[in-house]
Amino acid sequence: MEEERKKLEKIYQALNEEDTDIKKWNQALIPKAILLFPTIAFALTFLKINTDKSIIDLLGFIAIGVLLVFGGIFLNYLLSKGK
């Protein structure tokens, strides 16, 4: 029992001694905003220009684009696999 307690104390001390670098959610907000801005701008302009379209139409449009990109990547993989 005493040995386990000493082991746990060593582990506890080791954890307290380590300098963990944990970032808070509000750190580096500017890079996060820069990454999110094009997506938000595209969605807003798509819905503003196409007033008769809904969110489902937007998601379908994006899904078709993603499928085309992945299809091209897959074809490239298949063609380069034979070399």
Q: Is the pTM of this model over 0.75?
A: no
16 HSE (CA, 13 A, CB side): 6
Helix, strand, or coil here: 80? helix
Q: d(Cα 72, Cα 70) in Å, to the nearest integer?
A: 5
pLDDT score, position 50: 80
Q: Do residues 49 and 64 lie in contact, with contact meaning Cβ atoms separated by under 8 Å?
A: no
Dig out the tokens for 63 from the structure. Answer: 């899904």
User: How far apart (Å, rounded) are the C-alpha atoms in residues 17 and 48?
Assistant: 54
**pLDDT string in tens for the chain (83-residue length):** 788 888 888 888 877 776 556 667 677 788 888 888 988 888 888 878 888 888 888 888 889 989 999 999 999 998 888 66
| Per-residue confidence (pLDDT) for residue 22, from 0 to 100 | 66
